[in-house]
Structure 1
């Protein structure tokens, strides 16, 4: 079941689920969500504003006021409400257009329901006008498109996709010492770019929101995937917490595995949230970014320990667990909810990761196991690469996420000038079960 009311199937939209959303004290109207106790003339304007912006959900029959001990879910006569809204859309919108209506009945025999209105900007005829003006959606309220925004809407291709794909991340740049040497085996980076609501664009990061994101990360599968990568050479672990450059628009959360006997950081994971600085006004919502960097030094650590040294390489199984852990973490409902809260958008607008960057200090072939892989003559050296995700795959689904991980492993082997990766991946999958 998806976490968002916008993307949930009609069968998953139950009155219990809507009550659970309405009961949350922090659940307020946002860029992509609005509550209406009953019909009002502003409802059609909200439909147009969402259609002209990033889409969204309107719950009719749910009060926008949060009062202690008072149920916000009051319900309406669904058919009469839908008829009234559809008629108003036909009369007031230019061109006439209707969103999707879903009736969610009460379970008490009262014949009352909540009407869920879904506004999909990919199918709406943008711009939608009311009285020759194009409403747009800001954070929990409506406004009017200025000239630049109106021209942008008018020039859109009919199939333009307004949701971000989470691509075009900057490649990591390993820090180097005064001799120009890096002190890590490799850096992996993945992440997303995402739209921001109006409040997210001006509101500084709060300590509470950063702490909540750290908790969600610590409760995800990522720490276990990182511990697995350390190959047992760890004295202790330090969970995600603010460390280093944290400012009003930047949060930096770091997880560390400390080696033994020396106090060296074998594995680090750095999650960075960057909210753009806003000066003046902008015709479109700004983009924020969330990146995860995994920095591994296991091989270098092994080389530096004399009689304790071992030939440290990264087995395919460990890389598979790491890749899956990164993807699963960025689509985990708890992590997605905190990212959405920081940026003031609905969880439906939080993109899935679509890129993985690898930057290695030595040739990738030297990092991979020596058994089962063979060099392709004159294939050339590889020190990393960019791995694209298949946009048709839903990374929340375990089987589809596994398909993506396996594709990346095969690409890793081929880019490193090696054969045999497909067989190693098949052998690994034959001994494991598909993760949940």
Structure 2
């Protein structure tokens, strides 16, 4: 689902954002998204099908086909279209129900608008019937629920119908050695939950698909982002491959920086895909993808005996900006998304974007950051990390939105650590950095 428009407030839904979405070459109709030139009787069935599956969004006033020389976002008379759709929902749905309608005007004097229809499966009465049948979505098309699917819809817990927009992941822990000492400077964790397709909920992981995910990760922005930690001073790296706890329902892919010091892995990243172990319940089976980055660069630099005696390495803020941006870029990389969707047997449109980031540090954050223009706030207290929420109205596939999210997280990191100057530091870095693709 396009989380950015689905979760955005009405005030944040602009015609510019809709045009940008429609112009994306990779944005096609899917399980959770449809474009409609204008109202048609089939639209009511699509609304019911989305409500009975994963929810979704219909943009009315947008041509569903892209043709050379033909404007895609054409607009409609919003009130007229809403009246027709609402009337059709009242007449056809059992029980009666309406989705959310949001008119987004062109603001050009024409009076035209795009009508955004949000179908929230969390609040829809499921099963939503039309002529005693329950439409559902399959691969971007409408179908009819068979007996088993209809019984599942009727038996499900209303609070467990679909995944919530806020995707929560477990906070990580720093590992300790046998003497009880922490083995890393910090650990970052992000991730998301996913629904499971019918086949994915039963079959074991395929070695081929896991290998394809590892290759997609190695070809993504992730390895380059990891090398920014420690300025790439370690000797070499081992790309993502299976390591550690791997089972028929769990894939654990590990990237490791390599060194000849007593800290053999200054930087480590672990991507874990865990499929559910319990089937046949009334709740929706969900898979979990977690992405961990473990940094031991300070400990590694200590072994090199560089700098003034007793001086500890501090992480440059720009390195953390690049790391976070690389992580988020990887989570929306089309090839990575496609392989995760293949493993879980779902439409790639259902692969969520991360909605939170965890940081757990072995020291106070202000002791880990290179101060530069940062200044401590007197008596501000201490911070060894935190939970950073994402703005659901941002589309992380967009470079500007992704950078805005990263900048927000870094600013929060500085403020929580009792530091001022982070905002100016971030702005200075963005101003000096060359444009990225």
Q: Distance in 2 between matches of 1:135 and 1:387?
A: 38
> Paired residue for 2:195?
195
Q: Which of the numbers 116, 120, 123 marks the counterpart of 1:122?
A: 120
User: Any idea what the Cα deviations from partners look like across 1:139-184, whole Å, max 9, x if unmatched?
Assistant: 998334566732658x68xxx9955435211011122122221110
> Paired residue for 2:345?
344
Q: Distance in 1 between matches of 2:46 and 2:406?
A: 41
Q: Distance in 2 between matches of 1:172 and 1:120?
A: 34
Q: Distance in 2 between matches of 1:414 and 1:315?
A: 16
Q: 1:390 to 1:168 in 2, by over 3 A?
A: same
> Paired residue for 1:378?
379
Confirm or deny: 8 A CA contact 2:261 2:300 kept in the other structure.
no
User: Any idea what the Cα deviations from partners look like across 1:202-230, whole Å, max 9, x if unmatched?
Assistant: 12110111011111111111100101112
Say whether residues 1:215 and 2:218 are aligned partners.
no
User: Any idea what the Cα deviations from partners look like across 1:228-283, whole Å, max 9, x if unmatched?
Assistant: 1122321111100111111111000001111245561000000000111123x123
Say whether residues 1:142 and 2:140 are aligned partners.
no
Mapping of residues 67-216 of structure 1, within 5 Å: 94=94, 121-122=119-120, 126-127=125-126, 128-132=128-132, 134=134, 142-144=145-147, 145=149, 149-150=153-154, 162=162, 164-165=164-165, 167-216=167-216
User: Any idea what the Cα deviations from partners look like across 1:34-53, whole Å, max 9, x if unmatched?
Assistant: xxxxxxxxx99898555411
Q: 1:165 to 1:122 in 2, by over 3 A?
A: closer
CA shift for structure 1 position 284: 3.5
Confirm or deny: 8 A CA contact 2:314 2:369 kept in the other structure.
yes
Q: Distance in 2 between matches of 1:13 and 1:414?
A: 36
Q: Which SS does the other structure have where 2:354 is aligned?
A: coil
Confirm or deny: 8 A CA contact 2:341 2:348 kept in the other structure.
yes
Confirm or deny: 8 A CA contact 2:261 2:303 kept in the other structure.
no
Confirm or deny: 8 A CA contact 1:167 1:355 kept in the other structure.
yes
Is there any run of 5+ residues in structure 2 with no aligned partner, and where?
Answer: 7-16, 34-42, 58-84, 100-115
> Paired residue for 2:290?
291
CA shift for structure 1 position 361: 0.7
Q: Distance in 1 between matches of 2:366 and 2:400?
A: 28
> Paired residue for 2:334?
333
The normalised TM-score by structure 1 is 0.72
Q: Distance in 1 between matches of 2:412 and 2:263?
A: 35
Q: 1:17 to 1:286 in 2, by over 3 A?
A: closer
Q: 1:11 to 1:292 in 2, by over 3 A?
A: closer
Q: Distance in 2 between matches of 1:330 and 1:263?
A: 28
Confirm or deny: 8 A CA contact 1:275 1:288 kept in the other structure.
yes
CA shift for structure 1 position 300: 1.0
> Paired residue for 1:418?
419
Q: Distance in 2 between matches of 1:131 and 1:262?
A: 70
> Paired residue for 1:231?
231
> Paired residue for 1:251?
251
Comparing 341-350 with 288-297, which one deviates more in the overlay?
341-350
Q: 1:285 to 1:32 in 2, by over 3 A?
A: farther
Confirm or deny: 8 A CA contact 2:249 2:275 kept in the other structure.
yes
Q: Which SS does the other structure have where 1:403 is aligned?
A: helix
User: Any idea what the Cα deviations from partners look like across 1:317-366, whole Å, max 9, x if unmatched?
Assistant: 10000010111110111111111111111111111111110001111111
Q: Distance in 1 between matches of 2:96 and 2:386?
A: 49
CA shift for structure 1 position 311: 3.6
> Paired residue for 1:61?
none
Q: 1:385 to 1:47 in 2, by over 3 A?
A: closer
> Paired residue for 1:70?
none
> Paired residue for 2:367?
366
Is there any run of 5+ residues in structure 1 with no aligned partner, and where?
Answer: 22-29, 34-42, 58-85, 100-117
Aligned residue pair count? 365
CA shift for structure 1 position 372: 1.4
The normalised TM-score by structure 2 is 0.71
Q: 1:120 to 1:388 in 2, by over 3 A?
A: closer
Confirm or deny: 8 A CA contact 2:209 2:339 kept in the other structure.
yes
Q: Distance in 2 between matches of 1:239 and 1:354?
A: 26
